[in-house]
Chain A
């Protein structure tokens, strides 16, 4: 049988930065096909090209036996490609029926909506998936799972040949996941193909037929799921094996041999909610402790708990031996903790402010003199950091939004270094910056640690963790589950530690 969808040699650039370098994807009719990859591997770009949100630079797409040149989501919908996004694009205040039939309402007399018919049709579609609900009630009155199923029902009612599900289970509980799987199987048996994007690898083994793996904008493999082990998938996603690591894996983070006798931070069974339920670690002076884990394992939440962003529901933090309970970031900053956040745009820079104003934002209380900001000292400090960190800016009063990502990141790093922290928490410090800036940032971190400070490092780049961290605390589903100690950590060992805990889940 001819494949339903074939994408080959897809390339896509964004302003000179390649997002897709050689991506391909093939889906059979009636197949449930998984698409996996690390953050930034190019999954969503590929999907957006498929659904007409982006135009490809190069490559061929063939859908249902004909070359496809979609240029809008609506075109994709008409061609039979439906997408269920993480954030549902439905209208919560309107009834279930309205949401399902929207855009193709049954009419009477040619202009009035035939509501009894609309409700009947909606009930019929939903009952195919074993869902019996009041279709006249507002959609928003139902759980996320039901809303998601309604979105799928809507897709089916439009005679979709391919349904794309982007992280469909991320907000569902286990019984709801079962319902969703039932729907996926029902789709499959009626000949509809499903493209299933998820970072929960266990799910793939339950419902998928084949899996396509992407890394760095390329498709690196397509396998039958029955012939695959989870460890293979993780290794393929990371693109790692021992030979490669020895050949190229050096980062600027390696080194450092301080004696770790003084504990600066002690985290004991901390919980802040469902996404961080049991987190313990200790941190010594002159040490980098990595937090390892897959997406959604609670690494960022762990950092937030230490920085006073999420109140603790149980457990204790001890800072230099004394109990520490920050309620606001300002308290954590006063206690000499700094937190470089993952999302530079949303949580880091103030785009319209200058490099100078961004750099000193966390430092303001100590720049106060006679009720105003000591501008001389401010300029002196900013100039010093621009020199020391090699920040490329035409002038310290240039708006930060005009700087490159790497230089913005250096300004933010300087913002925290300027507060002279004892503990620096780094959440993906080198994401989205070019290779040169990446090494410079790593070197800055190394220097900071060698001066006797402590770092908690969250990174999806495993070589950063493996080479930089003295220890790695492995996180899984909101819990710290094990710890690896350097020397002796290899990427394989880390991958195995992650995979082991993946396997251990029921």
Chain B
């Protein structure tokens, strides 16, 4: 009898561990596969390329994780990226930006982020004050944001040469891309916000039981608006990074389909769509997995279309694991 019970416990331990660490296990599998199959995988060059590409997904996915933690969703992140990415060159290519390069550079960073912040306020207010469902509320900017960006740039590709600005996407610290460090710093900050601050506690409480949070005096509106604002500002930052990497701003393509990557990364990272959980480092893990799958397929000559299907399979697996975790 005793042996049976202990075997049973071992088995449940094993399965629950699989569910809890499914992301890490998936990452290990992908890494091992690449080390064996993909040529030149274990080179710093490869690592740098992957980090520079994963950073934008990770940054947006972390913001998305906060929004999902409130039980919401933000479809407008890609459009906000396009908008902020379109604004930056407009600022430093303007007469003012040319005349005062330093001020122009600062403005080129701050102004787009401010615009992103306004987008977040817009989303947050529509969701929490007007009580529109998040998926519809953020659809407004999803549709119009990219349109505004294209109108601002007349639909043109803006190319530029501005090494200081491009540092955001091409700079290196200790041999690794600047934006990778940036993403890591943001993750540490957000981890602190979620786990140590009152805002974070309320965020999780609202996602876990909104009525209870409100009855306990929680500032439900303010916290929700805060989550959308953080998500939008981070998206704006990601938009700037993409523009910096390319030394060009293409409002039609910047951040295209990013909402799907970000939601997928958050979900793979362990965020529950009904709210109440905000695994910040999980979002990074999710972003890394999605990026690596993309890279693996690309490096092995698999077409883009097939890569999309692979992404869908990952999301499916993540959702399945979530369901199993809920029991």
Is there a chain A Cβ closer than 8 Å to B215's Cβ?
Answer: yes
**Cα-based distance from A436 to B217 in the complex (angstroms):** 30
The answer to whether A350 has its CB under 8 Å from any CB of chain B is yes
Contact of A347 among B196, B198, B215 (CB under 8 A): B215
A487 at the interface (CB under 8 A from B): no
Q: Does B216 contact A (CB under 8 A)?
A: yes
Of residues 207 through 264 on chain B, the ones whose CB sits less than 8 Å from some CB of chain A are 208-209, 211-219
Closest to B277 in A: A352
Q: Provided the pairs A330-B219, A353-B205 are in contact, do residues A347 and B197 lie with their beta carbons within 8 angstroms?
A: no
Q: How many angstroms from the CA of A341 to the CA of B204 in the assembled complex?
A: 20
B208 touches A367 (CB 8 A): no
A350–B213 alpha-carbon span in the complex (Å): 8
**A: number of interface residues (CB 8 Å):** 30
- Residue from A330, A349, A368 whose CB has the most chain B CB atoms within 10 Å: A330
Closest chain A residue, CB of each to CB of B208: A350
A473 to B215 Cα, complex, angstroms: 24
Task: Compute how far the CA of A429 lies from the CA of B212 in the bound complex, rounded to whole angstroms.
Answer: 16
Chain A residues closer than 8 Å to B212, beta-carbon distance:
346-350, 361
Q: Is the CB of A339 within 8 A of B204?
A: no
| A364 and B202 contacting across the interface, CB-CB below 8 Å | yes
- Among B192, B211, B217, B276, which residue has its beta carbon within 8 angstroms of that of A333? B217
CB-CB under 8 A from B209, the residues of chain A are 346-347, 349-351
Q: CB of B201 within 8 A of chain A? A: yes
A230 to chain B, nearest CB (A): 36
Which residues on B sit within 8 Å (CB–CB) of A332? 217
Option from A347, A368, A415 in Cβ contact (under 8 Å) with B211:
A347
Task: Using CB atoms, name the residue of chain B closest to A309.
Answer: B215
Task: Please tell me if A103 contacts chain B, counting CB pairs below 8 Å.
Answer: no
Tell me whether A371 and B197 are in contact (CB under 8 A): yes
**Cβ contact within 8 Å between A361 and B277:** no
Residues in A whose Cβ lies below 8 Å from that of B219 = 330
Query: Whose C-beta in chain B lies nearest to the C-beta of A350?
Result: B208
Known: A330-B219, A350-B276, A351-B208. A361 touches B198 (CB 8 A): no
Interface centre among B192, B198, B215, B277 (most CB of A within 10 A): B215
Q: With a CB–CB cut-off of 8 A, which chain B residues contact A351?
A: 208-209
Q: Contact: A339 with B215, CB < 8 Å?
A: yes
The answer to whether A353 touches B197, judged by C-beta atoms less than 8 angstroms apart, is no
Contact A362 B216 (CB under 8 A): yes
Interface size for B (C-beta < 8 A) is 21
CA gap between A372 and B219 in the complex, in Å: 16
Chain B residue numbers with a CB within 8 Å of A330 are 217-219
Known: A347-B211, A350-B276. A365 touches B198 (CB 8 A): yes
A350 to B71, CA, bound (A): 14
Max chain B C-beta neighbours (<10 A), residue from A329, A339, A341, A365 = A329
- A329 — which chain B residues lie within 8 A by C-beta? 214-217
The CA of A339 and the CA of B217, in the complex, are separated in Å by 10
Q: Take A329-B214, A330-B219, A341-B215 as given contacts and tell me if A364 and B208 are in contact as well, using a CB distance cutoff of 8 Å.
A: no
Taken together as a complex, chains A and B put the C-alpha atoms of A328 and B198 apart, in Å, by 18
Determine the distance from Cα of A55 to Cα of B166 in the docked complex, in whole angstroms.
Answer: 69
> Are A361 and B214 closer than 8 Å at their CB atoms?
no
Query: Within B261-293, which residues are at the interface with A (CB < 8 Å)?
Result: 276-277
How many angstroms between the C-alpha atoms of A260 and B39 in the bound complex? 85
The A-contacting residues of B in range 282-312, CB under 8 angstroms, are none
Q: A365-B198, A372-B196 given as contacts; is B216 within 8 A of A415 (CB)?
A: yes
Please tell me which one of the listed residues B201, B213, B214 contacts residue A373 in the complex, with CB atoms under 8 A apart.
Answer: B201
Interface membership of A357, Cβ < 8 A: yes
Contact with B along A258-293 (1 / 0, CB 8 A): 000000000000000000000000000000000000
Report the separation of the CA atoms of residues A375 and B198 in the bound assembly, to the nearest whole angstrom. Answer: 11
Bound CA span A351–B209, Å: 8
Kindly provide the distance from the CB of A171 to the nearest chain B CB, expressed in whole angstroms: 22
Chain A 335-387 residues near chain B, CB threshold 8 A: 339, 341, 346-353, 357, 361-362, 364-365, 367-368, 371-373, 375
Known contacts A329-B216, A350-B276; is-contact A373 B197 (Cβ 8 Å): yes
A347, B211: Cα distance in complex, Å: 5
Q: In whole angstroms, how far apart are the Cα atoms of A235 and B53 in the complex?
A: 74
Known: A350-B208, A372-B196, A373-B196. A364 touches B201 (CB 8 A): yes
- Interchain CA distance A310-B86 in the complex, whole Å: 46
Residues in chain A near residue B217, CB distance under 8 A: 328-330, 332-334, 362, 364-365
Interface residues of A in 132-165 (CB under 8 A from B): none
Flag A407-447 by CB within 8 Å of B: 1 or 0 each: 00000000100000000000000000000000000000000
CB distance from B232 to the nearest CB of A (A): 22
Name 15 interchain pairs, CB-CB below 8 A, sorted by A.
Answer: A307-B215, A329-B214, A329-B217, A330-B218, A346-B211, A347-B209, A353-B204, A357-B204, A361-B213, A361-B216, A362-B216, A364-B201, A367-B198, A372-B197, A415-B216
Q: Please name 13 further chain A to chain B contacts, defined as beta carbons within 8 Å, in addition to the given A352-B277, A361-B216, sorted by A numbering.
A: A346-B209, A346-B211, A346-B212, A347-B211, A350-B213, A350-B276, A361-B218, A364-B198, A364-B201, A364-B202, A367-B198, A373-B198, A415-B216
Residues of chain A at the chain B interface (Cβ within 8 Å): 307, 309, 328-330, 332-334, 339, 341, 346-353, 357, 361-362, 364-365, 367-368, 371-373, 375, 415
**A-B pairs, 10 with minimum CB distance:** A330-B217, A350-B208, A362-B216, A333-B217, A361-B216, A372-B196, A350-B209, A364-B198, A347-B211, A350-B205
